[in-house]
Amino acid sequence: MGPIGANEFLFILHGLKWTALLAIIGFIGGGVFGILIALTRVSKSPAARATAAAYIGLFQGTPLLMQLFVVYYGVALLGINVSAWLAVAIAFTLHASAFLGEIWRGSIQAVPKGQTEAANALGLHYVSRMKDVILPQALKISMPATIGFLVQLIKGTSLAAIVGFIELARAGQIISNQTYRPLLVFGIVGAIYFIICWPLSHFGTALEKRMAKAAR
């Protein structure tokens, strides 16, 4: 058994950096495309709605691990040489956009119909109606679920190890193999995930309670 010193610990923290970056990229990319998916999902055109529903169904109905594989090897098959980074970023963006799109679709539909009618009666057009009136309210409604998904996403980044990505979980595995102290190492890795995810979950629950109170 080897010691766990500063070097090993730094290596794990290095992995944490990639975990955080992956989650942030997935969340931002997924957020931008997720809004488009949500808006398409509630659009007037039945064809557009069906397309968005199929997209959401595809990504919700398959494991993230498989999505990572398909994007990683699929992009290479197209003859485009991408780094593991880009492939993983694309996969997480697609994955997150489907889930956030569905969460936000529900939130948009949860905004009372009278808000759309008032906006229409005032002559506001689609962009203003969405940007000024509907989306700010939908976003607020969606906060607990959105934060819940962010926690899932952070934990899901560990799957990026499968395509050779050294993020937090993979870094822990490497150190564990070097030091033969799996319990201690994964204990530390688990604690790090917990320190990040638990406050977020807690924040989400608190928001949910506060909103339930406000709605009464």
Partner 1 sequence: MTASDNTQSMLISLEKVEKWYGAFHALKDINLTVRKGEKIVLCGPSGSGKSTLIRCINVLETIESGQITVAGRVLDGSGKAVDAIRREVGMVFQNFNLFPHMTVLQNCALAPMRVRGMGRAEAETLARKYLERVRILDQADKYPAQLSGGQQQRVAIARALCLEPKIMLFDEPTSALDPEMVKEVLDTMISLARDGMTMICVTHEMGFARQVADRVIFMASGEIIEEAEPDVFFTSPKHERTKTFLGEILAHH
With CB under 8 A as the rule, give the number of residues binding partner 1. Answer: 17
- Verify binding: residue 5, partner 1, rule CB under 8 A: no
Cβ distance to partner 1 smaller for residue 89 or 141: 141
Q: In the set 77, 78, 121, 195, which binds partner 1 (CB under 8 A)?
A: 121
Q: How far apart are CA 147 and CA 151, in angstroms?
A: 6
- Verify binding: residue 140, partner 1, rule CB under 8 A: yes
- Verify binding: residue 77, partner 1, rule CB under 8 A: no
Q: In the set 9, 32, 110, 132, which binds partner 1 (CB under 8 A)?
A: 132
Q: In the set 54, 117, 199, 212, which binds partner 1 (CB under 8 A)?
A: 117
Give residues in contact with partner 1 (CB under 8 A): 112, 114-115, 117-118, 120-125, 128, 132-133, 136-137, 140
